[in-house]
Amino acid sequence: MLNKTPPAFGHDWDPDRARGIIEEFKDLEGPLLPILHALNERFGHISEPAVKLVAEILNLTRAEVHGVVSFYHDFRREPAGRHVIKVCRAEACQSMGCEDLVARLERALGIHISDTTHDRRITLEEVYCLGNCALSPAVMIDGELHGRATEEKVLVLVGGRS
């Protein structure tokens, strides 16, 4: 099969590929963030083996790498669910009820924001402005923008409740 689209939740861990990514960015000034972004994009999260490899190659402690990974919300610590719902919580969406939407989705899915359902079907995340303010509240589902979001609409788009 040609041109297979990478899964939204990332490829399986591959230490050789990870090493290649790290080597590619390691000579940049301030290489840690670009490396973590590239690894997160490739594997869908920053696993413990990834932290270890980054620390080893950049000559940092694992605690230093962990510190950066946990500081930035962009990096996942574990694989995402099959569907990723990102709810915008920035100003325009706040004024159109995104907090109520978050609360409803948390209740419907039985998880909190930043968590994944126990069956690993859905991950619920927050973002701050999706550039879709005119159609707030805005969400992104599996990389696709949707405006005027409601609990019902979001749940239909991910195929029902968890």
138 belongs to the binding site for ligand FES (CB under 6 A): yes
Burial classification of residue 139, based on how many CB atoms lie within 10 Å of its CB (0-12 exposed, 13-18 middle, 19 or more buried): buried
58 belongs to the binding site for ligand FES (CB under 6 A): no
Least distance CB 101 / ligand FES (angstroms) = 11
Which of 140, 141, 120 has the alpha carbon at shortest distance from 132? 140
Residues 95-114 close enough to bind ligand FES by CB under 6 A: none
Are 36 and 68 a contacting pair, CB within 8 Å?
A: yes
User: What's the token pair of residue 12?
Assistant: 């399986």
93 belongs to the binding site for ligand FES (CB under 6 A): yes
88 belongs to the binding site for ligand FES (CB under 6 A): yes
14 belongs to the binding site for ligand FES (CB under 6 A): no
Distance CA 62, CA 56 (A): 8
Residues in binding contact with ligand FES, number by CB under 6 A: 12
Residues lying near ligand FES in the complex (CB under 6 A): 88, 90-93, 129-133, 136, 138
